[in-house]
Amino acid sequence: MTARLRFAATREPGTRGFTLVELLVVIAIIAVLIGLLLPAVQSAREAARRSNCTNNVKQLGLALHSFHNRGDKFPPASVRRVGVPGVDEWSTNMISWMGRLLAYMEQTDVFEKLDFEIEPGMGGSDATNYNRVARRIRISNFRCPTDPARFSRDTANEPTNYAVCLGDSESHRTYRNVMDNNSKLGLRDVPDGTSNTMCVAEIVVGHPFNEAANSSGGACAAGAVSNPSVRGRSWLDATTVRDYAYNTIFGPNANVTECNLNSGGGFALGARSKHVGGVNILMTDGATRFVGDSVDVTTIWRRLGNRADGQIVAPF
């Protein structure tokens, strides 16, 4: 009797352990809370990434205007030698517009080692041509954090998410925007107004591109992509137009194939992003805008791509 009383006195009244049912209920409640919070966390993270991307576009705008202030012109999207010996840097082959902005983006060390005279720009070997080394350097301002993809089999290039606008034409030599092959255009060459003309937008690294000339009239043929290639391959090597440009034939993030076109060696190239609902763009006056996927292609998007069509851009 004494032992029983002593044992009862040592127990705390009203205490008991969790039952299995109670434990499962607690776990279920925690899981529901996590499920409710996770989308909010992901949304906050994407908002931060999109803000970072917007800042990248803004920095490109500042660099473009700093470049313009030196010579009253924007850099060419790409440069093709015209066959005349002893020509200046404007005829250097295959170095992109981004390579010319490095000195204005805290990348002076890389810029000063580039060779703007060598032909071709990416030829030779690493030992004889620093351009080949530079194109493997990651420049954070040239990448959108929402699109971290890179080319697993291409170790010779560091990709980019930003490209220049070639206008509302499938040709890349019509100079309908401020940067094109061998262009020397400046603010004075934008009669439609710099606030009504975009010059840069996002592209998605690795987005399929059909190298086969398979259609015409500004539309790629439907069906499987033959000879597939990809977009955003290099920030420095502007060998082909798909490396560094887009046009406004179709709207942002359009569900269409991008390709070469039969008509005069043209291209159908899109502005794209991994952000939900649209793309970041840079206006020629340096302003950044986020344009939704549902933007009217005829009255807004194509007109934004042409610096001198004389058309009024609808509000967007």
Question: Tens of pLDDT along 276-310?
Answer: 999 999 999 999 999 999 999 999 999 999 999 99
Q: Which two tokens stand for residue 70?
A: 């030196």
Lowest mean pLDDT among 17-21, 230-234, 282-286: 17-21
Q: Is 286 exposed, middle or buried (0-12, 13-18, 19+ CB in 10 A)?
A: middle
Give the per-residue pLDDT at 212. Answer: 66
Domain count, the chain: 1
Q: Which of 26, 157, 185, 17 is nearest to 94 (CA)?
A: 157
Q: What does the alpha-carbon distance between residue 192 and residue 308 come to, in Å, rounded to a whole number?
A: 5
Q: What is the pLDDT of residues 106-125, one digit of tens each?
A: 999 999 999 998 888 888 89
Structural domain includes residue 188: yes
Give the per-residue pLDDT at 19. Answer: 83
Give the per-residue pLDDT at 7. Answer: 41
Q: What is the pLDDT of residues 135-174, one digit of tens each?
A: 999 999 999 999 988 776 678 899 999 999 999 988 878 9
Structural domain includes residue 3: no
Contact (CB, 8 A) for 275 and 253: no
Give the per-residue pLDDT at 40. Answer: 66
Give the per-residue pLDDT at 4. Answer: 47
Give the per-residue pLDDT at 24. Answer: 81
Give the per-residue pLDDT at 39. Answer: 72
In which order are the strands placed within the sheet that holds 267-268?
228-230, 208-210, 259-260, 267-268
Provide the 10 A C-beta neighbour count for residue 70: 9
Structural domain includes residue 284: yes
Per-residue pLDDT band for 6 (boundaries 50, 70, 90) equals: very low
pLDDT exceeds cutoff 90 at 99: yes
Q: What is the pLDDT of residues 170-218, one digit of tens each?
A: 887 899 999 999 999 999 999 999 999 999 999 999 898 887 655 555 5
In which order are the strands placed within the sheet that holds 198-202?
245-246, 162-165, 198-202, 278-283, 288-292
Structural domain includes residue 153: yes
Q: What does the alpha-carbon distance between residue 193 and residue 313 come to, in Å, rounded to a whole number?
A: 10
Lowest mean pLDDT among 11-25, 36-50, 78-92, 138-152: 11-25
Give the per-residue pLDDT at 287. Answer: 97
Query: Which residue carries 């060696």 as its tokens?
Result: 265
Average pLDDT over residues 36-48: 75
Structural domain boundaries, residue 116:
52-304
Give the per-residue pLDDT at 276. Answer: 93
Q: Which two tokens stand for residue 63?
A: 């660099």
Structural domain includes residue 2: no
Of 86 and 93, more confident: 93
Structural domain includes residue 279: yes
pLDDT exceeds cutoff 50 at 9: no
Q: Is 116 exposed, middle or buried (0-12, 13-18, 19+ CB in 10 A)?
A: middle
Contact (CB, 8 A) for 254 and 270: yes
Structural domain includes residue 250: yes
Could you tell me the pTM of the whole model?
Answer: 0.84
Average pLDDT over residues 71-85: 85
Q: What is the pLDDT of residues 236-256, one digit of tens each?
A: 999 888 889 999 999 999 988
Give the per-residue pLDDT at 216. Answer: 54
pLDDT exceeds cutoff 50 at 104: yes
pLDDT exceeds cutoff 80 at 85: no
Share of the chain above pLDDT 70, in %: 84
Q: What Cα–Cα distance (Å) separates residue 95 from each residue in 46, 73, 131, 240, 292?
A: 32, 17, 9, 11, 31
Structural domain includes residue 93: yes
